[in-house]
Every structure is written in structure tokens, then in C-alpha cells.
Structure 1
Amino acid sequence: MVTQSPQLIPEVEIMLRPLKVFDGVPYVSFTKEEIERSAQPFKFSLVMKFMRQRPSLDIIRAFIRSRWGLDSKPVVSAMLKARSVFVRFSNELDFIKAFSRETCDVEGVSYHIFQWYPEFDEENESPLVPIWITLPGLPPNFYHESFLRNITMPLGQYILQDNSTRCATRTDGARVCIKMDASKNPLDSFWIGIPHQATSRLQEVVYETLPTYCYRCRMQGHNVSTCKWEGGMKTEERYQGEGGREKKVWVRKEARKSAGHREQDRAEISKRVEVVDLEEGLLNKNDDIGEETGE
């Protein structure tokens, strides 16, 4: 039975310690073990980062409930950034189902999905993403989950195999979802067994989707050669769209601008981006007014 009222997270007790001061600045700190313990209630959590103004929390909750096929109801909450949503699951199976979904949109609004961890930063997208791959011609005796966990280690971390692989109803290859680092060049093949031995197998890898990742601005969707950031800044231009609504596009900064002009541009861009974020946040808050305070 799924409870309708919010549940308290398990309390993690630590010792009260004296306040510390460094160069006249007070601070608090925690051990690695304490941080790991504090993160335990959130170990099955994901972050949905929408590509444009996100739907209201009620719409997202209803969509998850009706489309994701979960065994229990997750806790869905807003984050600091207007387009980000925190989803906390109560069990690993639901977490895996959500993380490995092949369609990433809610009511037509696309999102990127990330596994949450204590150091998660909303400003920088993680390069670790779920990817569906096919291993053509992999013998069906390797379709066992424990074997696939080992076989996919050169590529990333095993998440899930599809039902036809689990049931061996297709034996032309295994289809598996893995978590891999999109910032690294993907392997197109690897060896099962000692390389170049008669009893070994050179296994081909087919990636169904392979998102690009830019290590300069730490964002998905493009690589460094097409990045619109220059010197840590990205400029925007606005124009009037259909119906008179203002739209924005990102463009590369002109390298010939003087340092003074660049500083002036940075200040202006910062103000304009803050206004856009504020407007978007207010729209989302208005959409969320009247929603239940819990799940």
C-alpha cells in the first residue's frame, strides 16, 4: 500500500562539535563517513533537468505515476534551479526503471536525467549518463546478469538488460543499458578473454544513442568544438518571436572585443540571465501553487 502523506527521512545522528575558524572565517565540516551516512536515504534519487520551462510538479507526478510502471510512489520535489526536479525512490528496482527509460520527456518537454550524489552540482551536468547498447552475436550463455555485469565493465557500469535478453527470446545479441562517461571516446569493440587467443572473442559494441558532452562548459548536447562558451562566458541575443513573445539564442562572443568591453558584456549578460532564471522560477512556482506539500 502506498502512503499518501510525506514520510520523515531516517535521522542520522552525529556528535555536536565545536565551531571551527580558518583565517577568521567560521566553518563547519563533516567526515567522509558522516556524509556517506547522511546520503543513505537519498541513494535511489535522480535529477530531471528539463530543456525548457518544466511542467508543474503535479503534472510530473501524474505522468510518472501513469507512465513509468513503478511499484511505489516516488517523492518529487523542486530544486534550486527552475528547470530541475528531484525524484527520490524508495527501492532500487524503481530507480533502475526510471534511470534506464528510453524516452525522456514529460508531456513533450524533454529532459536529461542524472543520478544524484552528495557532490551533485546543478550548474554542471555530469558526463555519466544511461546508454542502451547492443552486443551483436554475443552467445546466449552470456545473457546471465552476473556475466553481463562483468562483460560491460570495459564500457561502463551495468544497469539493466531488456526483457528479450533476460528471457533469451532473441539470440542475435544482448541489449543492455549501462551508465557510461559521455566525455570519453567510446569503445567500438573489446575482447572477451585474452586478446588474440583462439578461444577469445572480439566483441563489437553498437550504441543506440550516444550523447555528446562538452568538458569545457560541462553540458550535454554538444562537444568542445561547437561550444558557444568563450573564456567561461556565453552570450545571448534576443529577438521577437511569434505573437510578440521575446525569445533568446546563444551566440559565440566576438574575440576582437577589448577587455573592458568583455567585462561590460559579462555584467550585462549576468543580469539578463538572472532575470530569465527569475522569470522562469516564478512561472514554475505559480504553476505549483496549490499542490500538496507532500507526495
Structure 2
Amino acid sequence: MAMTTKSPSQPHHGVDPTGQNTESEPKMNYDTALCPVTKTAKPIPMKPIAYLHGEPRIIWEEEEVEQMIIKENLEFAVIGKFSYVWPEIQELRKLIPKHCELLGECKIGLLSNMHVLIRASYLEDYVNLLSKPSFYLIHRGGSYPMRTLKWDLMFDPEEETATAIVWISFPSLPPNFFVKEAVFLVAAAVGKPLQVDLATKNQTRPSCARVKVEVDLLREFPKRINVGLRKQSGEIIEKWIQIKYDHVPKYCTNCKIQGA
């Protein structure tokens, strides 16, 4: 019986669902793997100013905005949100890399009241920043809780993004599908795959694959996925794989806030 397939949403910035660049890349060694990936942004064309009901208006294409994101080092941008009080920005530039254990360089600036913008340079730092519900910055005897949220290009300080990072697992997925290209494609049915856990990477837990995924909290998550093999004869061998979710934060559509 033939399978019904649905094309997963494609990640931005020229990558396929496996997280790999669609263009050929030079082989990387350990040193280059620790360096930020430098992308060359294309020139952004000038735009005519239109008028909507007598007021000026400019519309950019999605590809043009993606080039702006590259130019402004916002590919791994994260929002740090404080509740009441927080240290001065000069102190935050020292405290955040230390207490959040960032591996690479980052640029930190005040975005709005209670919000700082953290421009990480490593994907690993981006994932780690968004993987904890909050960080506690210790400074001069005080503890300052900071929540982290994915930066959104239409950021509104009054609304929190509905995007979050969660762990998902695939019990009983055949271990041949644990290869990154395959397991990322399977995980793309849920959201944007970012990384696998160490047991999956090191091939020490063949009973279950586990992937960290960027998800939209407003969508309905699938409970299972059908995977299969088409033989040369045309016969398809298929299997339903259950999708298990670790803690997924709630999102209030009225107050526009992520909850526990």
C-alpha cells in the first residue's frame, strides 16, 4: 500500500530539513567546526515607497529580509526577558556569556524595557539559550532571573513569541533511520530539527531516537508518523512510529505569553 507523504516546511537560509546546506561545502575539521559560519549576504535592492491610504509603505520580499538577517548577525538571535529589575547593560554583557555558558562571541544590547537582544554566533549557543526555561544571573549578591525567547523579526515587547524548543523522541524507529539526514527529515514533520541527543549521535540507544526541535506552539502536533522502504519490486514496507514529546510549554492566545 502506497504511503501518503506531506512535504515538511523547509528551514530558512538555504538549508534542507536535515539542517545541511544545499550547496556543496568544504570538509570541516575540529577547529573550523568551532568557528561561526560566515555567510555572504546578497545586495538588498532599493525599494520604491508606496502609499496606503495616504501613508507611506514599504514591502520587502522574504528573501530580501533573510539577507538583512544575515547582514545584521541575527540568524542565532535570542531575546532575554527580565521581570522587574536587572543589572546595567555593561554588566549584562559580562554576566550573560558567563552564566549562560556561551561558547562563542555574542553581541548584547538593550532592545526595549525588560528585553535584551543576544546575537549569538554559534548554533549550539542559540540552542542552549532556548533550551532552559530561565537563567539566573548572580551579581553583587542579587539573583536576576532571565527568560529566553526566540527573536522574531516583528518583535513586539507586549507579546511573547509562540516559537519554542522541545525534545521529541521516536521509540521503535529502526536504527538505520538514526542517520542525521533521515532522523532530521522525520523530525521535520513536527518542526525545525536542530540537534540530536548524545545517545542518538553516539549510537548507544538503538531503541529510541531523540531530537531537539523548534516548534510553533499554536499548531497541532502529530502523534505518529509513517516511515517506509520502497523495494526495487515496487513493494512498500512501512511502519507507524509514535512521536513522544517532552515538556511542551503552553501558550496563552489571550495574554500572548508562554507558560509552564
Q: Is 1:151 aligned to residue 183 of structure 2?
A: no
1:168 equivalent in alignment to 2:203: yes
Letter aligned with residue 182 of structure 1: L
> In the alignment, does 2:60 pair up with 1:31?
yes
Q: CA deviation at 1:14?
A: 4.8
Deviation, 1:75, is 0.6
Match of 1:95 among 126, 137, 154: 126
**Per-residue Cα deviation, 1:71-97 (whole angstroms, up to 9, x for no partner):** 3220111112x2211011234343334
Deviation at 1:152, TM superposition (A): 0.8
Shift in Å, 1:151: 0.7
The reply on whether 1:71 has 2:109 as its aligned counterpart is no
Equivalent residue number for residue 199 of structure 1 = 237
How far has the Cα of 1:188 moved from its partner?
A: 2.9
In 2, the alpha carbon distance for the partners of 1:85 and 1:78 equals: 4
Aligned CA distance change for structure 1 residues 29 and 66 (closer, same or farther; 3 Å):
same
SS state of the match for residue 66, structure 1? helix
Distance (whole Å) between structure 2 residues aligned to residue 144 and residue 56 of structure 1: 45
Change (3 A) 1:92 1:189: same
Identity of paired residues, percent? 22
- C-alpha distance in structure 2 between counterparts of 1:117 and 1:23, whole Å: 27
**Equivalent residues of 2:44, 2:67 under 8 A apart:** no
CA positional deviation for 1:98: 2.8
Query: Which structure carries more helix by proportion?
Result: 1
Q: Which AA in structure 2 matches 1:122?
A: P
Q: CA deviation at 1:170?
A: 2.5
| Contact 1:39/1:117 (<8 A) preserved | no
Runs of 5+ unmatched residues, structure 2: 1-40, 138-142, 230-234
TM-score of the aligned structures, taking structure 2 as reference length: 0.66
Distance across 1 between alignment mates of 2:237 and 2:160 = 42
Can you give the 5+ residue segments of structure 1 that lack an aligned partner in the other structure? 1-9, 223-295
Q: CA RMSD in A?
A: 3.1
What is the total number of aligned residue pairs between the two structures? 207
| Distance verdict in 2 for CA 1:200–1:43, change over 3 Å | same
Verify the 8 A CA contact 1:158 1:179 in the aligned structure 2: yes
User: C-alpha separation between the residues in 1 aligned to 2:135 and 2:195?
Assistant: 20
- For 1:166-194, what per-residue CA distance to the aligned partner results, in whole angstroms no more than 9, with x for missing partners? 11122331221101121233333222239
Q: 1:188 to 1:59 in 2, by over 3 A?
A: farther
Structure 1 or 2, whichever has the larger Rg, is: 1
CA shift in 2, pair 1:166/1:84, >3 Å: same
* Alignment counterpart, residue 48 of structure 1, candidates 77, 80, 85: 80
